[in-house]
Amino acid sequence: MQIAAVGQAFPTHYYDQDQLIEAFRKIWGQRHHNMARLERIHRNVLVGGRHLALSLEGYEQLDGFGSANDAWIEVAQDVGERAVRDALARSGVDPSTIGAIFFTSVTGIATPSIEARIMNRIPELPRHLKRIPMFGLGCVAGAAGVARAADYVKAYPEQTALLLSVELCSLTLQRGDLSIPNLISSGLFGDGAACAVVCGEKVAEKAQISGPKILASRSVFYPETERVMGWDISESGFKIVLSADVPKVVAEHLRGDVDSFLSEHGLELEQIDSFVCHPGGPKVLLAFESALERPRSAFQLTWDSLAQVGNLSSSSVLLVLRDTMAPEHRPPAGTLGLMLAMGPAFCSELVLIQW
């Protein structure tokens, strides 16, 4: 199994963090007793700017969960289509080989799901392909989706699978919530889409795919951690659940999980030359560095992604994968890499790749 390409797409609206801080001053200035603290929170997440599904004025027209979700459906189709088209153009893969499309998001809901609506926009997609929408995995879904797509093409080596992630985090903002998790998320999360093309062995050979091989994957579930990260869903929509314990969970579990996974394949951490990680936030990335005993330079592309577009939930690790596959960053041929993400449950997903 090989990753042929990763496509990306963003909404047209982009604002730097200064513009967004000023916008939040207008929203919360009359109710929050310490606006300096809000600004400090937004500066500390180290995000330089973010793409947003709507213009800043557009959010003022949203009057509840229904209108926000309608906006999500509309924008998700646009960025999702563009991400799929970008991925296919980059991959060189014959669309007729596509046998399945996995779709993941945790920022909106739709029936029929977004990948079905996109099939109506991209006639090159086979009418017989299997659709597998996934909801609820959150940030971990980028890595988990690649692993599930690899499972599929392992069974069907003559086929290709797509993983499409669309996350429009800004449409989940709770304007009436002044809790610390909501204030952090309002400064951290951005909007966008990514699509990975995962090829079976026979497709990869025929198309001479040069992308990284997927050697193995592992899912890890941590019992009784539902309140570490997730959503509370009510009449007003998705309300963030975000515990300060996320870096602690990374510190307690990640190294042991990685060592166990690699050992199962006769490997040690020292043999891993590159890392494709989800940019959960500065404290999470520092916990990654500490747990895996690597310098910041080993995660530089992840830090850069965080600064440029923010945390895009499931789409982020795919964007980092795209950057890592670029010629100027691509690790040496034959070396091993580890793709990893963590998310609601709480859980982690590890994917062993070879360049």
Question: Strand order in 213-221's β-sheet?
Answer: 130-135, 98-105, 160-168, 191-199, 2-9, 213-221, 347-354, 336-343, 272-277
Instruction: Report the C-alpha gap between 164 and 116 in whole angstroms.
Output: 12
**Is 277 part of the annotated catalytic residue set?**
no
Instruction: Report the C-alpha gap between 308 and 324 in whole angstroms.
Output: 15
- Name the E strands within the chain: 2-9, 13-16, 49-52, 98-105, 130-135, 160-168, 191-199, 213-221, 229-234, 237-242, 272-277, 336-343, 347-354
Strands 336-343 and 347-354: antiparallel
| Cα separation values, 19 from 87, 91, 270, 304, Å | 31, 36, 43, 20
On whether the CB atoms of residues 86 and 8 are closer than 8 A, the answer is yes
On the CB side of 152, CA atoms within 13 Å amount to: 25
The single residue of 139, 169, 199, 277 carrying the catalytic annotation is 139
Angle of CA points 250, 287, 299, to nearest 5°: 115
Please state whether the peptide bond connecting residue 112 to the residue before it is cis, i.e. omega within 30 degrees of 0.
Answer: yes
* DSSP class of 331: P
Would you name the residues annotated as active-site residues?
139
